């Protein structure tokens, strides 16, 4: 890898405060992507050790639609502006049958986040409004900060963000370093918790969008062991219309973290 490439990555991940000599390219992780016949990247930053590992550096700098990973940002803005009173605030179902598990009913914010209910968060964005949403995108410098239609811009490829930018964003969220009230950041961290065991806590948000014929998949978050967080971003793509995105994302995440030594409470 050319030194210039590492320098670009270091600039792009200013949030993570990694120097180029802290970065290790993990070619061995390629097998997990090959298994599912996908292109992708995985980034892993061990905060305690200052160790940063990347598979597919070039893709890590490329921007994509955030899809439902934007629910992290949308939740923060909703709570900060008062559009969402708290994580228990219910928005009534609009009556449109979408045949998605858990969507066709009244939802609290916490419930909507867990089932990735797009209509709930579209309504949140409409209530926030384009001007306020733009202000927060600019303040956080979230991706390319572009809004088209207020209730689809994170789904229609207007707003785009790179994996390294996503990593910096969730790292700042974990450490209360975003320009939101600490109580609101804590609330969002709580709804991101997916697994909790005596050995580890796993927190993340998934995303699944489209760019032309490509299915774009994300998992963005952190794993915490012994109060030591490690931040990760998985980004993959497939043009196979029958591709099982849900299963592939989860398997790749689990396999890479397992190879890296996680899930045992020893990190």
Whole-angstrom Cα Rg for the chain: 18
pLDDT for res 21: 59
Contact 12, 40 (CB under 8 A): no
Q: What is the pTM of this model?
A: 0.92
pLDDT at 15 (0 to 100): 41
What is the spatial distance between Cα 7 and Cα 177, in angstroms, rounded to a whole number? 24
The pLDDT assigned to 179 comes to 98
Q: Which helix (H) or strand (E) holds 235?
A: strand 228-238
Active site residues: 68
Report yes or no: 231 and 169 within 8 Å, Cβ to Cβ. no
The one-character DSSP state at 207 is E
Mean pLDDT per 10-residue section of the chain, whose length is 267 residues = 41 43 89 98 96 96 98 99 98 93 94 97 98 98 98 98 98 98 99 98 98 97 97 98 96 98 91
pLDDT of 82 reads 98
Domains of the chain: 3-259 (3.40.710.10)
């Amino acid at each position: 890898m050319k030194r210039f490439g590492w320098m670009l990555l270091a600039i792009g991940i200013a949030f993570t405060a990694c120097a180029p000599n802290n970065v290790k390219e993990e070619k061995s992780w390629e097998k997990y992507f090959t298994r599912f016949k996908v292109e992708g990247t995985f980034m892993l930053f061990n905060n305690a050790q200052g160790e940063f590992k990347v598979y597919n550096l070039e893709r890590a700098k490329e921007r994509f639609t955030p899809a439902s990973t934007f629910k992290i940002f949308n939740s923060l803005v909703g709570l900060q502006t008062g559009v969402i009173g708290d994580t228990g605030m219910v928005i009534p179902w609009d009556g449109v049958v979408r045949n998605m598990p858990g969507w066709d009913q009244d939802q609290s914010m916490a419930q909507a986040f867990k089932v990735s209910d797009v209509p709930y968060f579209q309504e949140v964005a409409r209530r926030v409004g384009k001007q306020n949403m733009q202000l927060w995108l600019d303040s956080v410098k979230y991706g390319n900060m572009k809004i088209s239609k207020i209730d689809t811009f994170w789904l229609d490829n207007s707003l785009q963000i790179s994996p390294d930018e996503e990593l910096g964003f969730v790292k700042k969220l974990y450490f209360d370093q975003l320009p939101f009230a600490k109580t609101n950041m804590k609330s969002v961290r709580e709804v991101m918790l997916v697994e909790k065991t005596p050995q580890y806590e796993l927190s993340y948000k998934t995303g699944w969008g489209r760019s032309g014929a490509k299915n774009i998949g994300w998992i963005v978050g952190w794993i915490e062991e012994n109060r030591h967080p490690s931040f990760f971003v998985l980004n993959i793509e497939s043009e196979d219309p029958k591709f099982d995105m849900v299963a592939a994302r989860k398997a790749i995440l689990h396999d890479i973290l397992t190879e890296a030594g996680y899930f045992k409470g020893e990190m």
